[in-house]
Structure 1
Amino acid sequence: MRRWLIQLRKEQQLTQQEVASGAHIDRAYYAQIENGTRNPSMTVASRIAYHLHINPSLFFSEQLSDPFETALTGSPITIAHCDLEHRYTWLFNNHSNFMLKKVIGKRLDEIFKDETSTKLLDIKKTVVSEKKPVRKVVSFKLSDGAIDYDIFCKPIYDSNNNVIGTASVSMEGQKPFL
């Protein structure tokens, strides 16, 4: 069962029929995808992902992610993907202030109106415009106090070598990555 997909659909207050219609597939087929009894093709996954504002790789990462999920869950590391408009398409191991329903499909500055959001958005804009990685430490004021994140952000490319977004890894604290 793809609980993450069900949760994401419900957080966006969509029915199975609305997602299926948006992806141009039958609702029963979509229900089977949610239940995990059928796997979508890359085309169908892309259409569903577009409709839900997520990265289509989520459908195929389940088989590959167990070791990474085990290692990263509960760690001080957060991983995120954003599109060219700097809207979150995927987020993993996020701080509780960054609830998926608040963040997926949105830019950080649309959610949090502060200087830190602007700094993070500027990092992503630089990565896209210069087509090269950026690493900076940014301090976020969160519900449990200020937390410094060592952020490494790099461009994501499509098969034609066009930049289609950014991928970032953020680690609590100012110590360099090992």
Structure 2
Amino acid sequence: MFKINDHVVYQSSGVYKIVDIRKEKDFNKNDTEYYVMEPVFNNNLTTKIPVNNKKVMMRNVITKDEALALITSMPEEETVWLNNNRERSGNFKEALKSGKTEEWARIIKTIYLHKQERNELGKTIMKSDEDAMENAEKILNQELAVALNILPEEVPAFIKERLKDTD
């Protein structure tokens, strides 16, 4: 069970802070305990989730050590490109929903490298691939930002600097 002030990754929506845990009546008039959460990086939407809900992916944000280890492992991360557009799109959607930082990093690397190849040919990538990369970057950058105590927009530069130091 999470506690008030915990930072959690919620679905593929991003990082939230649990601001309250309260009992309220549910649709069936039963007393139900809820997590009340606010997005860490845009405070315009409060979300309420039943504590006992097993259908949603929600987990603690990774630690600083886990974040640094993930960044260090990025150059060795294998790519997962599939030529079939439908299979690839489904694969990326499942990886996004998985809640696994390694999967998000793999999506980003895979699409980034494909995008570079396409750019060299004077071509662009599919919109669905671009969207998958943007979603993976958003949630990964938010999680790494919380773990490293920096802003999400500072994460790419932090990663580049960190990887430069390990060469």
Larger strand proportion of the pair: 1
Same fold by TM-score, threshold 0.5 exceeded?
no
Normalising by structure 2, report the TM-score.
Answer: 0.24
* Structure exhibiting the larger radius of gyration computed from Cα positions: 2
Using CA pairs below 8 Å that are at least 6 residues apart, which structure has the higher relative contact order?
Answer: 2
